[in-house]
Amino acid sequence: MTRRKRKKRQQARREHIESKVLVKAAFELARALEIDSLLVQAEQLRDVRIVEKHRQSERVIWLSPTEDLAIADDSLDVVLCLPQTPLSRVGQLKLGLLLAVLNQHVTLDESLLFLSGVPGSERLDTLLIVNPRRDFPWFKERDVAKDNQLFATRELARVLEIALLLAAEGREGHPLGTIFVVGDQDELAPHLRQLILNPCAGHAKRDRNIHDPELLETLRELAAIDGAMVISHTGVVESAGTYLAAPARKKKAKLAAGLGARHAAAAAITAETESVAVVVSSSSGTVTVFQGGEAVFAFEKPPHGM
């Protein structure tokens, strides 16, 4: 074995030990604070069985890129799938907590411990205490049952995954700015105008479904067209190059300073309809989710190594 390989193996062993110590400390802290649930980024653990060595009655909500994470059949644990795109630690927390609340695995006033690390590192290095209502303003005074119908769907999860991919990869290393609107087509119709002939018209629905991996490159090309992509509740791309003509009523739509025309259009359309809009910023690569006329969460493009 070369010196370089030996050093690399020693580094990996030390990082594995660090993760084990952090998991042990997390469960001890949870019991000291009477916290019943932990939110854990599964792919940053080389061996998820480490958790079983240290927990007593605590429940783990696993954040994983796949649903096939091996957990005991009689376990109270749940697995939540996150998009297979790079997210910062804060991005992982925001999205994981959003899905946990909307799927009713966590209450708004419940405190949790969050364990995470650098994406792809297979090493835990971050421990946070979080509370949805306290730490995230959007959760205050929400109708979670109603929001669950809008957010806890595989369609929105897939749109987020696509948006994050366009933000991270884009074209020639630059984010592709665009808007996705997911909603009822009859309700949205009065607020939509085509800027160009609809490139989706005439194609079979199965060929326009966002769950088809082969559609991704087409969506990348459609994102380069001015206007929004409008998607049905079943995941079918109904139109692209679409102008969102909802009135920008200040009493309904709330827009933070510094956000541009795409964000204003997303705020307006979601204020007038029961839709969700996902905006990719062409300048920063930030992905922002709008509902009810306001930004729900923003997922920043992670810097290299984060």
pLDDT at res. 280 = 93
- Please state which CATH number belongs to domain 153-299: 3.40.1700.10
More confident residue, 157 or 275: 275
pLDDT at res. 210 = 95
* Domain residue spans of the chain: 3-139, 153-299
Long-range contacts of 2-7 (CB under 8 A, 24+ apart): none
> Tokens at residue 268, please?
């307006």
H or E element in which residue 244 lies: strand 237-244
Tell me which residue of 30, 83, 75, 84 sits closest to 48, measured CA to CA: 75
Distances from the Cα of 144 to the Cα of 24, 101, 154, 165, 288, angstroms: 33, 8, 17, 28, 19
pLDDT tens-digit readout, 137-159: 767 666 655 555 555 567 888 89
Tell me which residue of 63, 62, 51 sits closest to 26, measured CA to CA: 51
pTM higher than 0.95, yes or no?
no
Name the average pLDDT for the chain: 83
> Tokens at residue 136, please?
């995230």
Fold of 3-139: Pyruvate Kinase; Chain: A, domain 1 (3.40.1380)
pLDDT tens-digit readout, 60-85: 999 987 777 766 556 788 888 877 76
Topology alike, domains 3-139 and 153-299: no
| Cα–Cα distance measured from residue 90 to residue 306, given in angstroms and rounded to the nearest whole number | 10
